[in-house]
Structure 1
Amino acid sequence: MIDVLVVGGGNAALCAALMAREAGASVLLLESAPKEWRGGNSQHTRNLRCMHDAPQDVLVGAYPEEEYWQDLLKVTGGQTDEHLARLVIRASSNCRDWMRKHGVYFQPALAGTLHVARTNAFFMGGGKALVNAYFRSAENLGIQIRYNANVESLELDGDRFVAAHVGGERIPARACVVACGGFESNREWLREAWGQVDGQWVADNFLIRGTRFNMGVLLKDLLAKGADSIGDPTQSHCVAIDARAPLYDGGICTRIDCVSLGIVVNNTARRFYDEGEDFWPKRYAIWGRLVAQQPDQIAYSIIDAKAVGRFMPPVFPGVTADTLPELVRKLGLPEAQFLQTVQAYNEACRVGTFDHEVQDDCHTEGLTPPKTHWARPLDTPPFYAYALRPGITFTYLGVKVDDQARVHFGGQPSGNLFAAGEVMAGNVLGKGYTAGVGMSIGTAFGRIAGTQAAAAALQQQAVAA
């Protein structure tokens, strides 16, 4: 019998599998995707948010625990478990040497990458290189890996894991780590969570930035079998992305990063939120939800020539025009309202010293909603517009865990069932997001879950002997 069964093939699952194997357990990893699509959402990532008290290799300056915690507290609005969040923060300070041992390389942040050279360590080659390195290491360590292995349900005895069921096959193990993502690719579940507006399913206009294989099968199964839940099914890492992006696996390149440098209007040509509320790394993942709340789940980011060169350029060119009336006609928005919105914004701008790398003093006065930073009139042609849709990366509804990554049933921890990654991220992320923290959660809890699962399995093995 296998000691530790790991369900999933992304960062959290791989960290769990590697740690369990290093602890002396035999490990089988089941990845629902085919080999060429392995890695879950982790293949689309770029970096890991890291606590550090002084400059370290690719990280500049210092990013101490308390600042990291305050950043997380701010974006979540307090909807986070402080004990588990601080566990993640502290774990982020000492994981990179272990990652390097398994073939992960880091590089300094490139200029213009969300102003995160101080807070985030970037993977050389991105997330795809990271998961490939982990898979190579897993194979070298003798971890068994099966692709196209869609686990349909778990067999439990009360709160204890017994076996997994895959296409009619029963796979028993002494312990199990569930690290197979959320339900962002399950359109029916998204519909159920978001409901209808004016007879239309809100979620039908969502695009999925990540993997098509995260259907939430085991999350639904665990909740049906009494696992304690955490989080809101409508909360997610949801980014405003190019409306022309593919339905699945668009990844980072579909994001539109100029939101803070201009204005955003909905399809009635009205602004609906403060574009300059905070730095883009701390606010980019709220804009998808904001767009989801607009009519027909669409919005438009509008900039002028002054913004060009100050953000990561999109993959697809925007709609361009030499005048605002020409731009609005190309977009098909209500022309009079659009021109009124822009005029009101332009007149409200109080331009001081513009600096897109700090929270500058360029703001609006007497405008609702305000723009609190980086407010400059849209007055320099050519003008650009990018249509936006909600792009879901991962959902926050999950199973409740403790600091040993144990899944809870009726408030009590399971003795041999653990969870890591997106399926439990809602314990730390009740809402909101800040760049790189998803990988911090997956790495921290993946490593904990693997270690604890190996200990549980080996203890069970010893008792049986």
Structure 2
Amino acid sequence: MTTKASTKQPDVLVIGGGNAALCAALMAAEAGASVLMLEAAPREWRGGNSGHTRNLRCMHDAPQDVLIEAYPEEEYWQDLLKVTGGITNEKLARLVIRASSTCRDWMRKHGVHFQPPLSGALHVARTNAFFMGGGKALVNAYYRSAEKLGVQIRYNASVDKLDIEDGRFVAAYIGQERITAKACVLAAGGFESNREWLREAWGQNERGEWPADNFLIRGTKFNQGVLLKHMLAHGADRIGDPTQAHMVAIDARAPLYDGGICTRIDCVSLGVVVNREGQRFYDEGEDFWPKRYAIWGRLVAQQPGQIGYSIIDAKAIGRFMPPVFPGVQANTLPELAQKLGLPVDTFMQTLNDYNRACRIGTFDHTSLDDCHTEGVTPAKTHWARPIDTGPFYGYALRPGITFTYLGLKTDETAAVRFNDVPSDNLFVAGEMMSGNVLGKGYTAGVGMSIGTAFGRIAGTQAAKAAQAALASKEAAHANA
């Protein structure tokens, strides 16, 4: 099969269709390059995981349009350092942080709108800029802008393999169709939707379970990691642990794919979480929810049956973003345990031990308050209040995987590297290189910061590479 799109060689080929790919395509087009973008999904599912996003984490030294107060570089860096446990490339992380302070005007130029600062339960109006209409509106705005700039877009265009010679991109293949370009940007996502690869990465645990079998995919089903696997097999330098990912505890009733943000359970820090044996297993009040929500998917993945249960009482209602499904409700704790299928005696022992250990100070869910436990393991270091006021609610939790961190090693030019030598015409952005910044953990909005920063760099560098190739060709003709 040959199409018109493949008869004329574009300057820049962008493989992918989400935020990072779109940023790359827009920057390359703005630089004067002809651009062809290949999106694996059909048009109605375009945009990858970006359609499920809501915001961008932004550095700023003073109040700025939709951002209140200040969120300086060093604080952003310390937040990232804390969640990653130091498994991050500081140079590239700081590049992302600085880029996040200046990208919004460019985003607005391409039709993205931001909503006024949020108040209420989210407490991220200082650190995060929220997209008006969410990620879907952002994706649609970028596609409209790309089309106006003359970017060719093909849907249902899944790339199987690349021709690479001496670290240089030569061609991409959609089945038997061969597409050449002077430069290429890889922004095709991670492997979170590839169940076989997830099983291989996570293996079998000591209980004989295959944890990955119980993972739900918060985002797109089209991120199969085909191109990532192909690149790793052909010697591209790799970075990241295949079991590390942006993984959130989500409602166990969520769909297998595309459940998005509304399936997240946000009441964890207001109560306790137990496993199927009725036992607590981690500090629910360790830090503010936007900095800690992304560790809970992995915590649940390590529990028997890869399931947990978030338990709250009436005092918590109205203090968190309600999920898409209502919780299981009961008038007493033993009744709640029965409804959730948990061992009543163990569950009640856990709740009684926790309630007795609570040392109530001044409860304040907007600060790291002094309500904590004493004499119970695990401790709850903030927001610890007895669960004693009916009705009681329980939410079954499953690991919800957003995107994986295994990827291609890169540098500040976004170049793909082979044996530590950067390619001069093959670049990478988004989930395919996020492991350079995110070795583990996550903090709200940083994925879009990485995709935006490196998408823009990759697009700019690809356009330069294409111009250099054209200049070289013209010089060769002149000398012939």
1:283-335, Cα deviation, whole Å (9 max, x unpaired): 00000000000000000000000000000011101100010111111111111
Instruction: Specify the alignment match of 1:40 in structure 2.
Output: 48
Structural mapping, 1:9-408, within 5 Å: 9-112=17-120, 114-197=122-205, 198-408=207-417
Q: CA deviation at 1:191?
A: 0.1
How many Å separate the matches in 2 of 1:449 and 1:306? 49
How many Å separate the matches in 2 of 1:328 and 1:102? 51
Does the residue aligned with 2:182 lie in a helix, a strand or coil? strand
Unaligned runs of 5+ in 2: 1-8, 475-480
Structure 1 residue identity aligned to 2:356: E
Q: CA deviation at 1:233?
A: 0.2
Deviating above 4 A after TM superposition, structure 1's stretches of 4 or more consecutive aligned residues are none
Instruction: Specify the alignment match of 1:456 in structure 2.
Output: 465
Q: CA deviation at 1:113?
A: 5.1
Q: CA deviation at 1:110?
A: 3.0
Does the residue aligned with 1:200 lie in a helix, a strand or coil? coil
How many Å separate the matches in 2 of 1:438 and 1:113? 22
Aligned length: 465
Q: CA deviation at 1:196?
A: 1.4
Does the residue aligned with 1:245 lie in a helix, a strand or coil? coil
Does the residue aligned with 2:431 lie in a helix, a strand or coil? helix
Structure 2 residue identity aligned to 1:334: P
Does the residue aligned with 1:196 lie in a helix, a strand or coil? coil
Does the residue aligned with 1:456 lie in a helix, a strand or coil? helix
Residue 418 in 1 paired to residue 432 in 2? no
Does the residue aligned with 2:246 lie in a helix, a strand or coil? strand
- How many percent identity over aligned positions? 79
Which of 393, 404, 409 is the matching residue for 2:418? 409
How many Å separate the matches in 2 of 1:288 and 1:113? 21
How many Å separate the matches in 2 of 1:109 and 1:438? 20
How many Å separate the matches in 1 of 2:279 and 2:116? 40
Asked if the contact 2:357–2:375 (Cα under 8 Å) also holds between the matched residues in 1, the reply is: yes
How many Å separate the matches in 2 of 1:39 and 1:279? 29
How many Å separate the matches in 2 of 1:332 and 1:250? 24
How many Å separate the matches in 1 of 2:267 and 2:447? 23
Asked if the contact 1:112–1:312 (Cα under 8 Å) also holds between the matched residues in 2, the reply is: no
Unaligned runs of 5+ in 1: none
Structure 2 residue identity aligned to 1:135: Y
Does the residue aligned with 1:199 lie in a helix, a strand or coil? coil
1:375-396, Cα deviation, whole Å (9 max, x unpaired): 0000000000000000000000
Structure 2 residue identity aligned to 1:97: D
Q: CA deviation at 1:200?
A: 2.8
Does the residue aligned with 1:151 lie in a helix, a strand or coil? coil
Structure 1 residue identity aligned to 2:285: G
1:325-381, Cα deviation, whole Å (9 max, x unpaired): 111111111110000000000000000000001000000001111000000000000
How many Å separate the matches in 2 of 1:318 and 1:152? 43
How many Å separate the matches in 1 of 2:471 and 2:59? 38
Normalising by structure 1, we get a TM-score of: 0.99
Instruction: Specify the alignment match of 2:4 in structure 1.
Output: none
Of stretches 4-13 and 101-110 in structure 1, the one that deviates more from structure 2 is 101-110
Asked if the contact 1:58–1:106 (Cα under 8 Å) also holds between the matched residues in 2, the reply is: yes
Q: CA deviation at 1:40?
A: 0.3
Q: CA deviation at 1:167?
A: 1.8
Asked if the contact 1:260–1:276 (Cα under 8 Å) also holds between the matched residues in 2, the reply is: yes
Asked if the contact 1:88–1:440 (Cα under 8 Å) also holds between the matched residues in 2, the reply is: yes
How many Å separate the matches in 2 of 1:234 and 1:404? 27
Structure 1 residue identity aligned to 2:242: P
Q: CA deviation at 1:158?
A: 2.0
How many Å separate the matches in 2 of 1:353 and 1:61? 25
1:212-242, Cα deviation, whole Å (9 max, x unpaired): 0000011000000000100000000000000
Asked if the contact 2:25–2:151 (Cα under 8 Å) also holds between the matched residues in 1, the reply is: yes
